[in-house]
């Protein structure tokens, strides 16, 4: 079966089991500042999983196109894509583990035709600290399901993915217990970072085995379901929302339990044709074939480039078909980035001519089965994206000419030269470097540092006029810089909770690209400490806490509210206090001049990039925010 057939079979199967088909959400969600794009099937259904009644009832199903740009740098391997389709079904307080596990196994083996002997599953090993038992219920259901298929499924105590890479799997093992890093679902990630008040619970993931010959022991260790490598591929995840995080941090069982299932259409289709390479399925193989034709190159020898082009142009098609146009802001910039990265990879293949007009009709045909309600602007896609292609190719042509002019006056190209090409003519850095080598020129040994210095100097020039106007180290009051300002408050609170209550802010510098935060501490933070701090910040972001402010007398703010402020003597008699969370039990309460976001969910995903020494007794953290995919 091809992908379109599997999608339809899934929806028909769920309808036979009492589900109502609901329309998928658009890739760009309205009134949701927390994320650029819909990144999962459950994301639009979160209010109903949190308890709001759904107008279509308690059994729902759909197929949700999704986009996750955080995976963009992984595209090029056999299974990562930025765009994918998530097959989903939900029980809102209706059926639970027994019916879900039985039905999904039946769908895979009877409807899709997968060999049950190649199916492996995982369950949650439990957590003694929080009194959450091992999910033996799910494991026993799986044993019964496998037994009906003539398989004696043994249970393995793995625990962690790292341990699995050391022990591998033993004969007969088919059901594997893992910790909360693998088999626990919450909006905050693991158990420790589950937001207060949120539903959460164990999950049971389903994997397809492509054979022992696909494992790479030297690179990944011994294969097991949660390992990296090409042997096992996750094709579905069943989340059993049976707990809620209490205000005191403990967990209690929900009265009405939910099931949230998500299965990757592309991955299930790959399993159905026995290929660990998702780029060989019907949604992408015709694109690859056309690329081979127009480039006169073979896919097996040019997999990275062809996979990136196929993936990125699928994403670009879906975004443009929903009415998005390339621009330099937010979602429009993401669309522009997908198109331009695809064109750059086409140049690597030797495709110098415009080629989107040959690829986009193939993608359009692949998605004919999706309705006009989902893709209302599909008729405009070719015009919108080929216009962007034409403009970018003109940029490239002009940049090459300028580089040729530069070559007539010097044989060594510096990073400052490359920055000027990008800043003035929009000529991408990676393409400049490639052209320098093609022309037989010498590239400065430190061109990357020189490029970064030129970029920093330009930003400094552009910000000089406004510096001093904003408090707290802000370079401007753009939306992104304001987000980083609020993230600084969360970072300080996390450092005080996870490392030491004596930590104080010693300085900060915020730009639209990152935050830099200095603080006092007597040691270099360990990887575990940094991870705990990062997890804490992301848990508060996932909880979507309110951010409020009010003016108080300085002494009242310090002595009664216990607001944090590093320079008491320097503050005026009246101060502004920003509070994150419930004012009665604040997550963060600081004296600050603002500005800030109104709720933490707007921040996105917080990632610590670097921790280093700033001066004696002072450390520095550099961190970034990226769109948060629930």
pLDDT digits (tens, 9 = 90+) for 304-340: 999 999 999 999 999 999 999 988 777 888 899 899 8
- Between residues 356 and 1, which one has the greater pLDDT? 356
pLDDT of residue 428: 78
Tokens of 172: 């007969």
- Greatest CA separation for the chain: 78
Torsion angle of C-alpha atoms 417, 418, 422, 427, degrees rounded to 10: 120
- In this predicted structure, the answer to whether residue 129 has a pLDDT above a threshold of 50 is yes
Domains and CATH numbers, the chain: 3-276 (3.30.930.10), 285-391 (no CATH), 479-626 (3.30.980.10)
pLDDT of residue 381: 94
Alpha carbon distances (Å) from 218 to 76, 171, 588: 21, 21, 46
- Between residues 315 and 397, which one has the greater pLDDT? 315
Specify the pairing of strand 515-520 against strand 547-553.
unpaired
d(CA 67, CA 35): 11
Mean pLDDT over the full length of the chain:
88
Tokens of 366: 């692949």
pLDDT of residue 32: 56
Residue written as token pair 């800030």: 596
Q: How many CB atoms lie within 10 A of CB 425?
A: 17
Torsion angle of C-alpha atoms 523, 529, 533, 536, degrees rounded to 10: -150
d(CA 324, CA 559): 52
- Between residues 138 and 569, which one has the greater pLDDT? 138
Q: Which of 196, 80, 77 minimizes the C-alpha distance to 582?
A: 196
- Residue range 16-25: mean pLDDT, rounded: 93
Helix (H, G, I), strand (E, B) or coil at 84: strand
What is the pTM (predicted TM-score) of this model?
0.70
- Residue range 85-104: mean pLDDT, rounded: 96
d(CA 185, CA 239): 7
pLDDT of residue 193: 84
- Percent of the chain at pLDDT above 70? 94
- Percent of the chain at pLDDT above 90? 51
* Ranges 357-366, 429-438, 504-513, most confident: 357-366
pLDDT in tens, 423-447: 777 777 877 888 888 888 888 888 8
pLDDT of residue 569: 67
Confidence of residue 31 (pLDDT cuts 50, 70, 90): low
401 contacts: CB under 8 Å, gap ≥ 6: none
d(CA 11, CA 19): 9
pLDDT of residue 346: 94
pLDDT in tens, 524-557: 999 889 999 999 999 899 888 888 887 777 888 8
Give bridge partners of residue 94 from the DSSP assignment: none
* Ranges 464-478, 560-574, 613-627, most confident: 613-627
* Ranges 143-147, 373-377, 443-447, most confident: 143-147
Q: How many CB atoms lie within 10 A of CB 516?
A: 18
d(CA 225, CA 90): 24
pLDDT in tens, 261-283: 999 999 999 999 999 999 999 99
- In this predicted structure, the answer to whether residue 201 has a pLDDT above a threshold of 90 is yes
Confidence of residue 241 (pLDDT cuts 50, 70, 90): very high
- In this predicted structure, the answer to whether residue 164 has a pLDDT above a threshold of 80 is yes
- In this predicted structure, the answer to whether residue 593 has a pLDDT above a threshold of 80 is no
CB 324 within 8 A of CB 331: yes
pLDDT of residue 280: 96
Q: Strand ranges (DSSP E) for 68-169?
A: 83-92, 119-124, 154-159
d(CA 84, CA 312): 11
- Residue 168 — left, alpha, or beta (φ > 0 → left; ψ -120 to 50 → alpha)? left
Residue 543 gets which letter from DSSP? T
Alpha-helix residue ranges (DSSP H) falling in 367-428: 381-407, 415-425
pLDDT of residue 76: 86
Buried b (16+ CB within 10 A) or exposed e, 239-252: bbbbbbbeeeeebe
Confidence of residue 476 (pLDDT cuts 50, 70, 90): low
- In this predicted structure, the answer to whether residue 23 has a pLDDT above a threshold of 80 is yes
d(CA 98, CA 77): 35
pLDDT in tens, 36-49: 788 777 777 877 88
């Amino acid at each position: 079966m091809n992908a379109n057939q599997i999608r339809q079979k899934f929806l028909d199967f769920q309808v036979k089991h009492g589900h109502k088909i609901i329309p998928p959400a658009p890739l760009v969600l309205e009134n949701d500042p927390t994320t650029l794009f819909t990144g999962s099937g459950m994301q639009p259904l979160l209010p109903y999983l949190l308890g709001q009644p759904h107008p279509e009832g308690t059994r729902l199903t759909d197929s949700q196109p999704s986009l996750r740009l955080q995976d963009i740098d992984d595209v090029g391997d056999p299974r990562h894509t930025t765009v994918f389709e998530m097959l989903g079904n939900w029980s809102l307080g209706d059926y639970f583990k027994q019916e879900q596990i039985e039905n999904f196994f039946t769908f895979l083996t009877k409807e899709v035709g997968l060999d049950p002997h190649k199916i492996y599953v995982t369950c949650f090993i439990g957590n003694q600290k929080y009194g959450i038992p091992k999910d033996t219920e799910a494991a026993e259901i799986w044993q019964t399901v496998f037994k009906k298929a003539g398989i004696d499924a043994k249970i393995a105590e793995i625990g962690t993915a790292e341990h699995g890479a050391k022990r591998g799997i033993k004969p007969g093992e088919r059901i594997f217990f893992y910790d909360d890093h693998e088999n626990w679902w919450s909006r905050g990630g693991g158990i420790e970072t589950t937001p207060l008040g949120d539903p959460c619970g164990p999950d049971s993931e389903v994997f397809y085995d492509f054979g022992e010959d696909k494992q790479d022991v030297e690179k990944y260790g011994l294969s097991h379901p949660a390992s990296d490598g090409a042997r096992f591929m996750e094709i579905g995840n069943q989340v059993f929302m049976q707990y809620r995080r209490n205000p005191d941090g403990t967990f209690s069982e929900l009265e009405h339990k939910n099931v949230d299932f998500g299965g990757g259409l592309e991955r299930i289709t790959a399993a159905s044709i026995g290929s660990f390479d998702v780029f060989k399925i019907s949604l992408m193989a015709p694109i690859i074939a056309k690329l081979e034709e127009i480039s006169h190159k073979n896919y097996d020898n040019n997999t990275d480039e062809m996979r990136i082009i196929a993936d990125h142009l699928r994403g670009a098609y879906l975004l443009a078909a929903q009415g998005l146009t390339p621009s330099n802001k937010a979602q429009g910039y993401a669309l522009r980035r997908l198109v331009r990265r695809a064109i750059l990879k086409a140049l690597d293949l030797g495709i110098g001519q415009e080629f989107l007009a040959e690829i986009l009709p193939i993608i359009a045909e692949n998605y004919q089965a999706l309705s006009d309600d989902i893709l209302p602007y599909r008729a405009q896609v070719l015009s919108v994206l080929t216009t962007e292609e034409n403009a970018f190719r003109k940029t490239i042509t002009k940049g090459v000419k300028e580089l040729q002019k530069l070559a007539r006056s010097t044989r060594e190209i510096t990073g400052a030269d490359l920055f000027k090409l990008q800043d003035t003519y929009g000529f991408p850095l990676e393409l400049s470097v490639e052209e320098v080598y093609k022309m037989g020129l010498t590239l400065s040994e430190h061109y990357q540092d020189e490029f970064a210095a030129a970029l920093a100097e330009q930003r400094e020039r552009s910000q000089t006029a406004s510096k001093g106007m904003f408090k707290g180290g802000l370079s401007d009051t753009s939306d992104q810089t304001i987000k980083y300002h609020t993230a600084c408050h969360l970072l300080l609170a996390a450092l005080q909770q996870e490392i030491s209550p004596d930590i104080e802010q010693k300085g900060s510098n915020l730009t639209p690209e990152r935050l830099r935060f200095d603080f006092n501490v007597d040691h270099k933070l360990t990887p575990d400490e940094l991870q705990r701090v990062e997890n804490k910040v992301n848990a508060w972001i996932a909880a979507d806490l309110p951010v409020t402010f009010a003016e108080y007398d300085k002494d009242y703010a310090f002595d009664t509210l216990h607001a944090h402020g590093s320079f008491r003597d320097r503050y005026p008699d009246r101060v502004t206090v920003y509070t994150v969370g419930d004012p009665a039990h604040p997550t963060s309460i600081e004296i600050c001049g603002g500005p800030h976001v109104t709720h933490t969910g707007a921040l996105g995903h917080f990632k610590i990039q670097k921790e280093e020494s700033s001066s004696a007794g002072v450390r520095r953290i550099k961190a970034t925010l990226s769109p948060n995919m629930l």
